[in-house]
Structure 1
Amino acid sequence: MLDFAPTEEQEEIRKLAQSLALDHLRPHARRAEAEQDSSTELRLTLAQTGLTSPFPEEYGGSGPLEAVTYTLIAEELAYGDPGLALNIIGSLMGPLTVWLAGSHEQQQQYLPPFCNPTSGYLQRGSLAFAESTGTYRLADIRLQARRTSEGYLLTGTKRDVVHGQRADLRVVLARLVENENENEDKVAEGKLCAFVLPSPLEGLSIQAEAEKLGLQAAPSARYRFTQAQVPASALLGEAGSSGVVRAATLYQILRAALACGTARAAFEYCSAYARERIAFGRPIVSYQGIAFMIAEMAMKLDAARLLTWRAACSWDRGEADETLIREAESAQRQAIKMAQAATTDAIQVMGGAGFMQDHPAEMWMRDAAAME
């Protein structure tokens, strides 16, 4: 039987992440939402802890990544603020994909700038995963990459690319196809691959996603590739390698952890409110209608968290690609649905106060709705 109890070291890291979330993320969540980005001071603070450089020490990082550890970190950061947490995790996914899928030469080229002790915190990465016609599932990736004598031609769209407009390192997931305009079934069968996009890139149109419902503290963009030519050296490692699958499933697992952190924040906040709010002479938490709703939130949160931890454990053990995909996508789907329900229920528990910006519950509800 799997033991999900964190090690002593993981518990110390989790407490550090929670301290950062409560001291540096939640107090500045409204400002970050208004400014639609994180502050330079926050990025510097995180860099000084080593949490944002989970790369091998040979590149200047703090050490190799463990999915379970970063699942704990992601949940705690989202407990502070989901938008800022996605801002942080989204920036990491570009260089993490290089580490997991790229060759040693590509790792040497792209990773050191993110680990630089004096300027690494200024670097932004991005991973283009979801598309305008799909969700965060590997089966929905339809961006076509076709071999040419000069490299690869990219055709298709991407959405919700965190830091996509201003990233220093842009990585995109695509499907390798043999012929132009393949039918949907053939594209779906193409090998999954990842490319580092040169800048500038002719044939790539980038449009910022403005006025989003939620997660506004994580600036995102849409990509449109129209016969965009990239060199052969832009391909990370080999097409169809397990490294690309591991990078994609890691992102799904961390997104599930962000959803768990969001739901936990809403659950604890509305629970405290229900204990303090007096109606008809007693706290509203004493009424069955409220108590049952809160209890169900706790139960579903635990279930989604266990799914997420199981997927993270499988990732750390190096399970087969099929197992990783199934568990990561299941955890992501259940966690996001749970977070959307939990944040909506938190509003119901708080009544009219839940919609007031004096409380963070309405922001968490919008953030959860924007996670799909």
Structure 2
Amino acid sequence: MVRLAAEHEAFRRSVLTFGAREIAPIAADVDRKDQLPPEIVERFVDLGLVQLMIPERFGGPGADLTSVCVAREAVAESGSMALAQLAGQNGIVAYPLLAYGSREQQERFLPELAKGAIACVCLSEAGAGSDPTVMTTRARRDGGSWVVTGQKSWISYGKAARYALIFARTGEPVPGRGGGSGISAFLVETDSPGFIEGRHNVKMGGRGIPNVEVFFDDLRVPTENMLGDEGDGFRSAMRALHLMRPPIGAIAVGGAQAAFSYARDYAKQRYQGRHSLVEYQGLRWMLADMATRLEAARCLLYECVRQVDEGAPLDSIATLSSMVKWMTAETAMRVTTDAVQVLGAAGYMDDHPVERYMRDAKLTTIYEGTSQIQLNTIARGLIRSATARRPPGTGPATDASTTDRSR
């Protein structure tokens, strides 16, 4: 069982209380209407949840990654995996800014993020999702500005966000440095001329959080808004993704917990003839399997964020964070699907929340890197680790049958 520190446990209980009072009553309605209520966003901001990751020196709460995961898990457990995304939401921009931004950029943007400004990341394209290195969005220098042209797909929040971190190719890939070289990152305000929001996507799950297509029509960005070095923006994207995968895992764990708890309670109260469902061995085994997988996923999640919070090198976290993302997402999909099965025909109806949990769980296997991409990342990390530990001159030679071709 995961044992949280006293301060984290107290924080978890406070978020659960907030979730029971303000999230649970509106969760189904948010899903049906597919709209993000402005008042609930304001509540997240008022409680310091949106801006959890912003350091205290810039006016933020200065929470650690464990706190972010605690908050997301608690909101998801309260009934909305979609609204759980609001906890620590702008950290996906704050992390790259803290890692690669100049002092001037940090002092300009982070105090605004500390006030709860929503942020979005414009990375994926229709032909460059799992492999963003083949993106076609480009930026060309024009005097003291960069001019960005192109299109991004599946962008959460869009113009509902105040800031967007945009990735565009500013040069050709450098031989020996991978396809990610030549990509730069720019931090812009979404009300800038040339930042155009297109179609609103209708999603299977995660409903309530806006998801749109974004177009850049000669979007002019001042040179001082480039984040990090020219042609090195992809590195900041990967850093952000590695650190945001555990919080996605926390949403998955929270949603799975909500589904399991509902299915367990339903099975205890539902009778077939003279016997409750939990008296049937087949269903008891299902519940045991669900609970065990859930606890294992939770343990892996909090071990990963413990290492991050204790200062483990981020390069060493990449494999573990992908393990977390894969295991929690797949566990959520398994547990929520089984929860529907426990309820039978009733579980397939929207009279019960488990069908929504199952739809929401599917999203965790896709965004911030699909489950298949996570397995590729895990395999590469394991192979590199094994190679580094092998004494010189030992081990089999690598041939075409063992070479990882997934890059």
TM-score (norm 2): 0.77
Q: Secondary structure at the match of 1:263?
A: helix
Q: Does 1:56 align with 2:55?
A: yes
Q: 1:71 — aligned with what?
A: 69
The one-letter amino acid of 2:158's match is G
What letter is aligned with 2:328?
A: A
After superposition, the C-alpha distances for 1:34-82 in whole angstroms (9 at most, x for unaligned) are 34333333233333333333322332222x2311121111111111211
- Note if contact 1:165-1:207 (Cα within 8 Å) is conserved in structure 2: no
Instruction: Report the counterpart of residue 185 of structure 2 in structure 1.
Output: 194
- Whether the 8 Å CA contact 2:336–2:354 is kept in 1: the answer is yes
Q: Does structure 1 retain, via aligned residues, the 8 Å contact 2:75–2:81? A: yes
Q: 1:219 matched to which residue of 2?
A: 210
Q: Is this contact kept in 1: 2:49–2:88, CA < 8 A?
A: no
Q: Which amino acid aligns with 1:264?
A: Q
Deviation at 1:266, TM superposition (A): 0.5
Taking the aligned partners of 1:13 and 1:132, their CA distance within structure 2 comes to 39
Q: 1:321 to 1:99 in 2, by over 3 A?
A: closer
Partners of 1:306 and 1:84 in 2: CA distance? 23
* Distance change (3 Å), C-alpha of 1:315 and 1:42: same
SS of equivalent to 2:24:
helix
Given candidates 224, 227, 239, the residue that maps to 1:236 is 227
In the other structure, the counterpart of 2:399 is none
Equivalence map 1:58-207=2 (5 Å): 58-62=57-61, 64-80=62-78, 81-116=80-115, 120=116, 123-133=117-127, 140-143=132-135, 148=141, 150=143, 152=146, 154=148, 157-172=151-166, 174=167, 178-179=171-172, 188-190=179-181, 194-200=185-191, 205-207=196-198
Cα distance per residue 1:124-159 (max 9 Å; x no partner): 221234443465x6x645436566354556566533
Give, as a single letter, the amino acid of the residue that structure 2 aligns with 1:206.
E
Q: SS state of the match for residue 152, structure 2?
A: strand
User: C-alpha offsets along residues 282-334 of structure 1, whole Å, 9 cap, x if unaligned?
Assistant: 11122122111121111221222222223212322333343222222221122
Instruction: State the Cα RMSD in Å.
Output: 3.1
Tell me, yes or no, if the aligned pair for 1:310 and 1:327 is still in contact at 8 Å. no
Contact 1:206 1:221 in 2 (8 A): yes
Would you say the 8 A contact 2:68–2:247 is kept in 1?
yes
Q: 1:289 to 1:4 in 2, by over 3 A?
A: closer
1:264, distance to aligned residue in structure 2 (A): 0.9
Find out whether 1:334 has 2:327 as its counterpart: yes
Name the SS for the 2:4 alignment partner. coil
- Report the alpha carbon displacement of residue 190 of structure 1 after superposing the two structures with TM: 1.5
Listed as ranges, the gaps of 5+ residues in structure 2 are: 367-407
Equivalent pair of 1:141/1:175 in contact (CA under 8 Å): no
In the other structure, the counterpart of 2:267 is 274
Name the CA distance, whole Å, in 2 between partners of 1:141 and 1:312: 28
- Give, as a single letter, the amino acid of the residue that structure 2 aligns with 1:125: A
Residue identity (%):
25
Instruction: Write the distance in 1 (CA, Å) between the matches of 2:42 and 2:222.
Output: 34
Partner Cα distance (1:45, 1:178) in 2: 43
SS in 2 for 1:196: strand
Which structure's CA Rg is the greater one? Answer: 2
Cα 1:282–1:142 change in 2 (3 A) is same
2:56 counterpart letter in structure 1? E
- 1:90·1:163 contact (CA, 8 Å) conserved in 2? no
- Cα distance in 2 for partners of 1:306, 1:57 equals 29
- The one-letter code of the counterpart of 2:93 is G
Aligned residue for 2:373? Answer: none
- 226 and 320 in structure 1: CA distance in 2 versus 1, 3 angstrom threshold: farther
Q: Identify which range, 310-319 or 349-358, moves more after superposition.
A: 310-319
Distance in 2, Cα, partners of 1:279 & 1:185 = 65
CA separation of 1:200 and 1:20: change in aligned 2, threshold 3 A: closer
1:280, 1:68 → 2: CA distance? 46
Which residue of structure 2 aligns with residue 314 of structure 1? 307
Aligned-partner Cα distance in 2 for 1:12–1:353 = 36
Structure 1 runs not aligned, ≥5 long: none
2:35 paired residue number: 37
Deviates more, 1:146-155 or 1:124-133: 146-155
Map Cα deviations across residues 159-209 of structure 1 (whole Å, 9 max, x no partner). Answer: 33221132111113x375633xx6999763416753213445566553243
Moved more, 264-273 or 288-297: 288-297
Tell me the amino acid that sits aligned with residue 334 of structure 2: A
Paired residues of 1:198 and 1:230 also in contact (CA < 8 A): no
